[in-house]
Amino acid sequence: MDQQILALFLFFLIAALYSSVGHAGASGYLAVMALLSFAPETIKPTSLILNVVVAGIASWRYLRAGRFSWKVFWPVAVVALPLAYIGGRLQLPPRAFALAAGVFLIASALLMAQRALRQWEEHVPRPMPFAASLAMGAPIGFISGIIGVGGGIFLSPLLIQGRWAALRDVSGISALFIFINSLSGLAGRTSAGLALHPFLPWWLLAVVAGGLLGSWLGVSRFSIRAILVALFLVLMTAGVKLLVAG
């Protein structure tokens, strides 16, 4: 199968699966592009652009459903935005980018497995100290900008572990955080020059369709535990590939 058409199908699937849990799919897009050996200079902008589109759709869905908390969202976002822009401006050498992306994908795979296998219990959220917002937002923003992701895959488990947001609100908070964080990283990348793949418009159509489907399923409480385990295998495989062959 042609590489571009295969990517089209996989991007649709990833957008649908990730948006159903309040994510936009950046780690999945990175995994696909790593496994299909995309040109390194196109990986970061492609991931960010696809991420912005899917996260925007997911944010709209979750905000409309009332699954959100502004008081948790804004302190983390304010800290993360400028650092995502700075990270987005940085262009790592191909080998360094492959190593950073590989580590990110393996960490994402482990977090995905934790989310799939752990039985989270609902809790009463407690106030989040600003120090915690700074400790989360700063590194997530900077790393997201460098690699070309939204950072929601790290934010979600931290909010749950800290009991700073109700479980029903975590997906909505993560979706909007990914949206603005990806926009900031993309703005930084644009200011430093973009290298876009000519097939990108078709991939955008695929992730729009996937994002609409997945966010609807997520708001409807669709369970995809088995699929999260499958995503763990994909992310882990791609991460190891980047570390070994990057």
Q: How far is CA 237 from the centre of its chain?
A: 18
pLDDT tens-digit readout, 39-97 = 888 888 999 999 999 999 889 988 988 889 999 999 999 999 999 999 999 988 888 88
pLDDT at 113: 78
pLDDT at 180: 95
Is the confidence at residue 225, as pLDDT, over 70? no
Least confident of 17-31, 103-117, 140-154, 215-229: 215-229
Both tokens of 37, joined, read 């050996």
Across 104-120, average pLDDT: 77
Q: What whole-number distance in Å separates Cα of residue 55 and Cα of residue 212? A: 10
Instruction: For the chain, give the secondary structure using H, E and C.
Output: CCHHHHHHHHHHHHHHHHHCCCCCCHHHHHHHHHHCCCCHHHHHHHHHHHHHHHHHHHHHHHHHCCCCCHHHHHHHHHHHHHHHHHHHHCCCCHHHHHHHHHHHHHHHHHHHHHHHHCCCCCCCCCCCCHHHHHHHHHHHHHHHHHHCCCCHHHHHHHHHHCCCCCHHHHHHHHHHHHHHHHHHHHHHHHHCCCCCCCCHHHHHHHHHHHHHHHHHHHHCCCCCHHHHHHHHHHHHHHHHHHHHHC
Is the confidence at residue 119, as pLDDT, over 70? no
pLDDT at 242: 82
**pTM score:** 0.87
pLDDT tens-digit readout, 162-218 = 889 887 788 889 999 999 999 999 999 998 888 888 899 999 999 999 988 887 776
Is the confidence at residue 230, as pLDDT, over 80? no
Picking from 194, 218, 237, 215, the residue whose alpha carbon sits closest to that of residue 46 is 194
